[in-house]
């Protein structure tokens, strides 16, 4: 395994410990549940925005906890939904008079765990709602999902809701914003390599040296087809066309573009892809208002990238521009 | 090749175009020389801080141009020093009454190109000085360097000088700060995989599935030895010991820690490494004042990481905390 790894069973816990140590005073860590939340825990008048899904997608969502983003994250093992007691512990730790809003990417495992935890919490009188994200246009159903998968578009839901919640938006207002973002965001991913889950210790799937998976899921789920690797612009064209035709995005749209690395692809290549995504958006008459080039939702060390387009309006532009702080920093 | 790539000959130019498009209004791009510089070019009273080295180390240093960091970057081809005319064009474009300060990582190719360009510029009456960075403790001399190599510690030189220059420091003051940072910063890298330079189209070097290169250079130069991959904490211990004993760092030191990914290692693993680096520093009686976990100086898609320690004082702490903006953003 080409990994920096101690006991694979401790991978998630050690990563969380690293995040905790790297951000002194900023987070509370509950090792028993792999639960991490803002040390400046919002008061009861603020809706708590939380997420818990499989690990292996970092920075999503362990490292995206902070003011203006998530209030807490409760990751499961790599590519595995968090256990129900973890989900429940997260809801209970973050309960608030204004309520707890759980953001769930659309995978059956995550939905099941959170549904049970939410039911338990509601039975105890805790106010909690959920919102399902399903931005991946690649396939209508998938190995682990009924309906479209939730992938990197999740970032925009977290960012918009984190900003709105910080300003005191109510549960009803947040659900409306979530619905707006999710209905206007579309993603599509391409993998150039597989990845090695620590406990498995072997490639998640086999892929030849000259092959790519077009429409890959973030847990290695099959996409639309296996194909020979093409030129970057040709790959980007297919991603862009799949997304743009789906909403559809159209001339006059103000958009945010995200080129997201899947973990093993260097930022140099992401900027090569961004170049053509920007050109395509402008050629289609869109105005590129914001852009995001880097790693937002990964699959361990998988080589690959996803493209996300989000249609903006005045409200979303303000929310995306609002300040936010997370574990991951440059300076 | 597991790469998003068009014509390999256009790789650097297309990446630069992507950076330029992703930052509207912020950069001027001179495609003829692969030269990129701040659009808000400082006036004549500010020293211009510039760097030009081989590409393939992104974000260093193409994406680290911006207020409070570099004023310009003039990258060469992947793992190749920039041509002399590129270096000269960069100096000339950034000339200032206060002078131009060229930061050079210690590789003979870069030194030769810049020495010639500096001589040409000085002959034309342009005020220009250079500073050599050599923070890598792994080997005393290397394939491409006489003396120690310059690696990720370069970030701290750029950051400190960028901040000081922005506040109006003179050339003499900047050279003093550069010398302080370089004399107090130490790095050590470990590679778990090779990487594929676009034009070569094949692995830079061979390495078995269970092997690592201890003390790797950022162009794949050999380090101290080839070894079997060990547990993350064991690898970190060797990196930490090599660095800490070199300065030497000692109890009572206030330090910045950087865990830098070499391009193909996901941030989850970097936080596993950071966890133990932080523990080691604290156990040795150091105070960890700042930390940096992510990609700062890479080798294309190489799996691996480097550890950097910088001894701080009041002046450096202020300079590192000063605001800066670069091409790479999270939000």
Query: In CATH, what class is B12-183?
Result: alpha beta
For A274, the closest chain B residue by CA position comes to: B18
pLDDT at residue A185 above 80? yes
Interchain pair A231, B271: CB under 8 A: no
Which residues, listed in sequence order, are joined to residue A38 by a DSSP beta bridge?
A27
Count of CB atoms situated within 10 Å of the CB of B269? 29
The verdict on B155 touching A (C-beta cutoff 8 Å) is no
Min distance A263 CA to chain B CA atoms (Å): 5
Interchain pair A268, B55: CB under 8 A: yes
Question: Which of B209, B231, B303 comes nearest A6 by C-beta?
Answer: B231
Quick one: pLDDT band at residue A41, thresholds 50, 70, 90? confident
Q: What is the pLDDT of residue B41?
A: 82
Quick one: pLDDT band at residue A323, thresholds 50, 70, 90? very high
Q: What is the pLDDT of residue A42?
A: 76
- Phi, then psi, of A58 in degrees rounded to 5: -55, 140
Q: Does domain A185-321 correspond to CATH entry 3.30.1180.20? A: yes
**Residue A120 neighbours by CB under 8 Å, 6+ apart:** A84, A88
pLDDT < 70: residue spans in chain B: none
Question: Which of A159, A271, A320 comes nearest B19 by C-beta?
Answer: A271
Residues 50-109 of B with CB under 8 A from A: 55-56, 58-59, 63
Over the stretch B174-193, which tens digit does the pLDDT of each residue have?
999 999 999 999 999 999 99
Peptide bond into A249 cis (omega under 30): no
DSSP string, A163-220: HHHHTT--HHHHHHHHHHHHHHEEEEEEESS----TTT-S-SS---TTEEEET--TTS
Interchain pair B6, A265: CB under 8 A: no
The enclosing H or E element of A118 equals: helix A108-123
Interchain pair B330, A331: CB under 8 A: no
B219 catalytic? Reply is yes
Helix (H, G, I), strand (E, B) or coil at A130: strand
Which residues, listed in sequence order, are joined to residue A185 by a DSSP beta bridge?
A310
Count of CB atoms situated within 10 Å of the CB of B227? 15
- Of B106, B107, B132, B130, which is closest to residue B119 (Cα–Cα)? B130
pLDDT at residue A43 above 90? no
As a whole number of Å, the end-to-end CA separation of chain A is 31
Q: What is the pLDDT of residue B53?
A: 95
CB B129 within 8 A of CB B104: no
Q: What is the pLDDT of residue B42?
A: 76
For A190, the closest chain B residue by CA position comes to: B4
pLDDT at residue A230 above 90? yes
**Residue A227 neighbours by CB under 8 Å, 6+ apart:** A211, A212, A214
Mean pLDDT across chain A, nearest whole number? 97
- Of A141, A138, A197, A143, which is closest to residue A1 (Cα–Cα)? A197
Over the stretch A260-278, which tens digit does the pLDDT of each residue have?
999 999 999 999 999 999 9
At B19, list the tokens: 């950076």
User: How far is residue B147's CA from residue B145's CA, in Å, rounded to a whole number?
Assistant: 6
Which residues of chain B have a CB within 8 Å of the CB of A67?
none
Q: What is the pLDDT of residue B78?
A: 98
* CA dihedral over B153, B149, B259, B242, signed as positive or negative: negative
* Interface confidence (ipTM) of the complex: 0.98
For testing contact with chain A, the best of B14, B62, B274, B330 (most A CBs within 10 A):
B330
For B210, the closest chain A residue by CA position comes to: A1
User: How far is residue A149's CA from residue A137's CA, in Å, rounded to a whole number?
Assistant: 8
Catalytic residue among B20, B219, B276, B278: B219
Quick one: pLDDT band at residue A122, thresholds 50, 70, 90? very high
- Under DSSP, the state recorded for A64 is G
- Cα A233–chain centre separation: 25
User: How far is residue B239's CA from residue B235's CA, in Å, rounded to a whole number?
Assistant: 6
Q: What is the largest CA-CA distance in chain B?
A: 55
At B121, list the tokens: 């510029």
Dihedral angle computed from the Cα positions of residues B117, B119, B122 and B128, in that order, rounded to the nearest 10 degrees: 60
Quick one: pLDDT band at residue A162, thresholds 50, 70, 90? very high
As a whole number of Å, the end-to-end CA separation of chain B is 31
The ranges assigned to domains in chain A are 12-183, 185-321
- Of B145, B114, B159, B146, which is closest to residue B308 (Cα–Cα)? B159
Residues 269-288 of B with CB under 8 A from A: 269-275, 278-279
Which residues of chain B have a CB within 8 Å of the CB of A159?
331
Interchain pair A275, B18: CB under 8 A: yes
CB B288 within 8 A of CB B281: yes
CB B103 within 8 A of CB B161: yes
User: How far is residue A157's CA from residue A174's CA, in Å, rounded to a whole number?
Assistant: 10
Over the stretch B50-87, which tens digit does the pLDDT of each residue have?
999 999 999 999 999 999 999 999 999 999 999 999 99
CB B100 within 8 A of CB B125: no
Q: What is the pLDDT of residue B180?
A: 98
For testing contact with chain B, the best of A268, A283, A329 (most B CBs within 10 A):
A268
* CA dihedral over A15, A264, A59, A101, signed as positive or negative: negative
- Cα A100–chain centre separation: 19
**How many CA atoms within 13 Å lie on the side-chain side of A300?**
26
Catalytic (active-site) positions of A: 57, 219
DSSP string, B149-187: PP-TTHHHHHHHHHHHHHTT--HHHHHHHHHHHHHHEEE
- Of A227, A247, A223, which is closest to residue A140 (Cα–Cα)? A223
């Amino acid at each position: 395994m080409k990994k920096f790894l101690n006991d694979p069973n401790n991978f998630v816990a050690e990563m969380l410990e690293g995040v905790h140590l790297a951000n002194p005073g900023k987070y509370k860590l509950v090792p028993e549940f792999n639960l991490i939340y803002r040390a400046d825990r919002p008061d009861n008048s603020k809706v708590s925005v939380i997420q818990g899904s499989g690990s292996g997608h970092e920075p999503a969502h362990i490292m995206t906890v902070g003011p203006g983003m998530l209030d807490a994250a409760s990751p499961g093992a790599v590519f595995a939904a968090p256990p129900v007691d973890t989900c429940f512990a997260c809801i209970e730790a973050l309960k608030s008079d204004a309520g707890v809003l759980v953001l769930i990417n659309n995978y059956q495992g995550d939905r099941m765990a959170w549904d049970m935890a939410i039911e338990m919490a509601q039975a105890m009188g805790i106010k909690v709602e959920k919102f399902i994200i399903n931005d991946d246009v690649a396939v209508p159903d998938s190995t682990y999902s009924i309906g479209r998968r939730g992938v990197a578009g999740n970032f925009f839901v977290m960012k918009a809701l984190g900003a709105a919640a910080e300003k005191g938006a109510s549960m009803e207002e947040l659900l409306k914003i979530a619905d707006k973002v999710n209905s206007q965001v579309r993603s599509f991913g391409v993998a150039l390599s597989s990845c090695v889950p620590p406990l498995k210790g072997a490639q998640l799937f086999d892929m030849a040296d000259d092959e790519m998976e077009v429409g890959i899921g973030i847990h290695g789920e099959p996409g639309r087809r296996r194909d020979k690797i093409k030129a970057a612009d040709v790959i980007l064209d297919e991603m862009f066309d799949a997304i743009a035709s789906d909403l559809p995005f159209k001339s006059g749209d103000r958009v945010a573009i995200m080129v997201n690395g899947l973990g093993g692809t260097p930022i140099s290549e992401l900027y090569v892809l961004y170049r053509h995504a920007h050109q395509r958006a402008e050629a289609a008459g869109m105005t590129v208002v914001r852009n995001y080039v880097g790693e937002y939702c990964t699959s361990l060390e998988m080589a690959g990238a996803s493209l996300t387009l989000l249609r903006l309006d005045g409200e979303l532009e303000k929310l995306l521009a609002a300040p936010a702080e997370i574990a991951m920093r440059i300076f």
